[in-house]
Structure 1
Amino acid sequence: MAKTTGASLKETLSIKLDYDQLTNCMRCGFCLPACPTFQETGVEAESPRGRISLMKAVVDGVMEPNARFEDQMNHCLGCRACEPACPADVKYGQLIEQARDAIEDHTDQHRLWVKAVRKVMFKKVFPHQNRMKLLGKGLRMYQKTGLQTLVRKTGIVGVFSKQMSAMERILPDASGKGVIEQMGTRIPAKGEKIGTVGLFRGCLMDVLFTETNKNTVKLLTEAGFEVVIPETQNCCGALHAHSGETAQAQALARNNIHAFQQANVDYIVSNAGGCGAILVEYDHLLHDDPKLSEQAEWFAKRVYDVSTLLMEKGRPLQFAKQKNEEDGVRVTYQESCHLRNVMKGSGAPRQLLKRVSDIEFVEMRDAGSCCGSAGIYNLTQPDMANQILDRKMENVKTTKAHYVLTSNPGCLLQMKLGIDKHAKNDGVQSVHIVDFLHDRLVKN
């Protein structure tokens, strides 16, 4: 329950919510078909229109923000599929983050293990790259020493959460050495240099998907970019912003802006849709900080997803199926919600995939709908996340694809979970698009 009275939460919501955005909503309902939670439940309160109505009712004094109100705000995936569908251009993503920020100032509803994980990861681990490396080393030891086998046999993780146990099964091999330790901080372009790119290495990306970061660098250098990886960068702050920890997200953003300005780069590239979406909105995140507004705008306008940068700015790359691959390899693409809805990056990944010779690209039905990952949503809201994933896997199966490709680590893990649950024996793999393309790159 709330730590303070409903009136106190109401007052905080009244301060933090953008009332102009609340009144911009015309209640037209165009957002309803785009919303995953409404599609699953058919309940008005589970839609963007319904949640905005609840927010406005609280601010207008029509209702008190009780536990059910908090549940509805937290039940939103934050996929922002409603925004492209909205004729009034309501900034729903900003509203839901403002609401959650207010709720986090007052709530005590989180389950004990969720509270513990949030405190440790959000405040003590994610903001510190050296601690992320220690986490990577610890996970690697866990995976390589036999401890993982013991834990799985005893089912210890499942005591805390069945969802955590399922996620543990599909974790990739961790690394205590990130992209900088393995490649350095400055990697020259191949051939004539087109420009200088600052790689946003991420926190979990550099621990669980180090090879993807390395392959990103290799694709960029082949396309003519010099790659710089600022050592002082930190977590993007996306998980913090989406979970109501706005002040900490802002602190992380300030440090990243400084790190990349010092590097003097032409572009800032992300290979994680969730990270890229907040990076490209640092100007909004810091809009009330007059000292950094100009720098935040400088940063935001330079942010690109790696697929978009390769297509729009790089030298054309050629790809071909691997020598050991049989004919008739089929691939499909599961979109990252934030890459699609915030960064507007739907086209570039598909264009790159269609450059791979002798590979059949099959469009998935509802490829742009959320897979249920949504940061840590699949851990905090497992029932709805799994319901959405089950529907997604039905669409995957109809493609008969050998590879399900995606552009975001959370989506990648969620699709691996779906394959583990529904298609373990179907010969289908979930792979990051960068890794898929790198393995099929025809080098000059």
Structure 2
Amino acid sequence: MAGVRKVELGMPTLFGEEATVLARPSFDAHRPPSPELLDDCVHCGFCLTTCPTYVLWGEEMDSPRGRIDLMRSGVEGAPLTTSMVSHFDACLGCMACVTACPSGVQYDKLLEATRAQVERRVARPPRERAIRALLFALMPHPERLRVVRTLLRLGQRTGALGLVRRTGVVGRLSPQLDAMQALVPGLGKRESVPERTPAVGKRRAVVGMLTGCVQREFFGDVNAATARVLAAEGCDVIAPRRQGCCGALSVHAGREEEGLTFARRLIDTFDAAGVDRIVVNAAGCGSTMKDYAHLLADDPAYAERARAFSERVADLSEILVELGPVAPRHPIAPDGREVVVAYHDACHLRHAQRVVTQPRALLRGIPGVTLREIPESEICCGSAGVYNVLNPEPATALGDRKAANILTTGAELLVTANPGCLMQITQSLERAGKPMPFVHTAVIMDASIRGVHLVGR
């Protein structure tokens, strides 16, 4: 892993050489990193072994405490340089350091504030600016993704997409675009969720369901399974058709105003839906939606509504464990034989939301399932929102590391709770020549409830 080269932002020079000043001072007066939160870091080093970029490069400035030092220098008036921005950009935002920190450093809040400053104050190189513009013109917009999906499916069915990949022309044009096309999953018929799915048997709750953006268009089967599972457990499921993006990708990338606009619209949509809880089946989305109270704290029109909204948000595994099972579970293999399952923790579920025991409890409740833990489960797989597109080289190294650890478990089925992880790890396992069935938590729960076999003999 030490051989993975770190590329500086917009710099033809090698790492460690003189950097260019981009802004002076580093931060403006609008919500800079909090000095009080920065002072919580005591440089103990507990974060180092869980930080993906420190594990890859062993570089202090690519560790959480190193980045905190850079933030502190910016708060104290130092100029923002290309080198500083490259270290901030290299962070996956996985929040493993937050879980590891004994001092309770809120690195998530610090990184979020820093990235918003960078996006406002830095004019990125033209090619990088174009890639980011393309990503955010597509990813948070389900209607546009639907058009892209249709074209990609056509390309897969005709073989045109495979032909383009074999020519290598996209990779020569842009490593980022090459990474995007490599992540595209196999696409079948698009599945959608009805606006209302009635509870099976006695109604126990009325829940709203986030259908998402990438989840909605590229993993419609996951949404369909989510609705069926919730209904089987006694929930009326409301999936408002007018809902849009939750803002997670924008917020994590520092596109503050864009993310807040999405957040306000989603609050409006679900407030009008009349639901008890809002259920999310994508870890990054759930993390951001639970943080709306913080994100909109300065908005007098939405601060209180955001707080009430965030309190109603739950991951699918949380709500299922809270409710307790009423639908019977069946084995997921013929003749009820034992199936070894490995569960991959999505970072924004494990570290940001601290949802760890609930998914495992659900899997252990399936007859015949033996759950195996993945070594280095706290280390990110390299997906991290759009990180694997913007930073394909380190993302690939982390994905390969994750695949190698998964293969040591001897599992024949892999489960996770995030679409980005599904795409990233599937690609890594294929690259290792050891593809493995990989499903969302909702899909395995749905199969067990309906008596569908996910694995053969």
Q: Same fold (TM over 0.5)?
A: yes
Q: Give the alignment partner of residue 64 of structure 1, picking from 65, 79, 87.
A: 79
Q: 1:39 to 1:323 in 2, by over 3 A?
A: closer
**Structure 1 vs Structure 2: percent identity of aligned residues?**
35
Equivalent position SS for 1:29: coil
1:104 alignment counterpart: 119
Q: Give 1:323 deviation, angstroms.
A: 4.9
Q: Give the alignment partner of residue 253 of structure 1, picking from 263, 277, 302.
A: 263
Q: Which moves more between the two structures, 144-153 or 265-274?
A: 144-153
1:21 alignment counterpart: 37
Q: How does 1:36-51 map to 2 (within 5 A)?
A: 36-51=52-67
What's the CA shift string for 1:145-172, capped at 9, x where partnerless? 3322332343333223456546534522
Q: Give 1:118 deviation, angstroms.
A: 2.0
Residue 346 of structure 2 contacts residue 418 of structure 2 at CA under 8 Å; is this kept in 1?
yes
Q: Give the alignment partner of residue 119 of structure 1, picking from 133, 136, 158.
A: 133
Q: Give the alignment partner of residue 316 of structure 2, picking from 295, 306, 312.
A: 306
Q: Which moves more between the two structures, 253-262 or 312-321?
A: 312-321
What's the CA shift string for 1:41-80, capped at 9, x where partnerless? 222111111101111012213x432100000000101001
Residue 137 of structure 1 contacts residue 176 of structure 1 at CA under 8 Å; is this kept in 2?
no
Q: Which moves more between the two structures, 133-142 or 391-400?
A: 133-142
Q: Give 1:416 deviation, angstroms.
A: 0.2
Residue 100 of structure 1 contacts residue 243 of structure 1 at CA under 8 Å; is this kept in 2?
yes
Which blocks of at least 5 consecutive residues in structure 1 are unaligned? none
1:434 alignment counterpart: 442
CA distance in 1, matches of 2:355, 2:168: 40
1:91 alignment counterpart: 106
Residue 142 of structure 2 contacts residue 216 of structure 2 at CA under 8 Å; is this kept in 1?
no
Letter in 2 for 1:418: S
Q: Give 1:94 deviation, angstroms.
A: 1.4
Q: 1:42 to 1:215 in 2, by over 3 A?
A: same
Q: Which moves more between the two structures, 83-92 or 161-170?
A: 161-170
Letter in 1 for 2:436: V
Q: Which moves more between the two structures, 301-310 or 356-365?
A: 356-365
Q: Give 1:31 deviation, angstroms.
A: 1.8
CA distance in 2, matches of 1:9, 1:276: 34
Q: Give 1:96 deviation, angstroms.
A: 0.9
Q: 1:121 to 1:164 in 2, by over 3 A?
A: closer
Matched, 1:233 2:243: yes
Residue 22 of structure 2 contacts residue 82 of structure 2 at CA under 8 Å; is this kept in 1?
no
CA distance in 2, matches of 1:256, 1:26: 38
Q: 1:13 to 1:91 in 2, by over 3 A?
A: farther
2:24 alignment counterpart: 8
Residue 268 of structure 1 contacts residue 302 of structure 1 at CA under 8 Å; is this kept in 2?
yes
Residue 13 of structure 1 contacts residue 102 of structure 1 at CA under 8 Å; is this kept in 2?
no
Residue 25 of structure 2 contacts residue 74 of structure 2 at CA under 8 Å; is this kept in 1?
no
Residue 175 of structure 1 contacts residue 210 of structure 1 at CA under 8 Å; is this kept in 2?
no
Q: Give 1:5 deviation, angstroms.
A: 5.8
Q: Which moves more between the two structures, 340-349 or 207-216?
A: 340-349
Question: Scaled by the length of structure 1, what TM-score is found?
Answer: 0.91
Q: 1:22 to 1:166 in 2, by over 3 A?
A: closer
CA distance in 2, matches of 1:187, 1:115: 42
Q: Give the alignment partner of residue 406 of structure 2, picking from 373, 378, 396.
A: 396
Q: Give 1:401 deviation, angstroms.
A: 0.9
Matched, 1:204 2:214: yes
Question: Scaled by the length of structure 2, what TM-score is found?
Answer: 0.89
Q: Matched residue pairs, number?
A: 434
CA distance in 2, matches of 1:357, 1:111: 54
Q: How does 1:374-393 map to 2 (within 5 A)?
A: 374-393=384-403
1:140 alignment counterpart: 153
Q: Give 1:303 deviation, angstroms.
A: 0.7
Equivalent position SS for 1:330: strand
Tell me the C-alpha RMSD between the 2 structures: 2.3
Q: Give the alignment partner of residue 297 of structure 1, picking from 300, 307, 311.
A: 307
CA distance in 2, matches of 1:350, 1:69: 39
CA distance in 1, matches of 2:134, 2:37: 34
CA distance in 2, matches of 1:225, 1:137: 32
CA distance in 1, matches of 2:97, 2:220: 33
Matched, 1:320 2:330: yes
Q: 1:286 to 1:174 in 2, by over 3 A?
A: farther
Equivalent position SS for 2:39: helix
Q: Give 1:405 deviation, angstroms.
A: 1.1
Equivalent position SS for 2:329: strand
Residue 308 of structure 1 contacts residue 345 of structure 1 at CA under 8 Å; is this kept in 2?
yes
What's the CA shift string for 1:287-317, capped at 9, x where partnerless? 1111101110111011111111111124344
2:231 alignment counterpart: 221
Q: How does 1:69-80 map to 2 (within 5 A)?
A: 69-80=84-95
Q: Give 1:262 deviation, angstroms.
A: 0.2
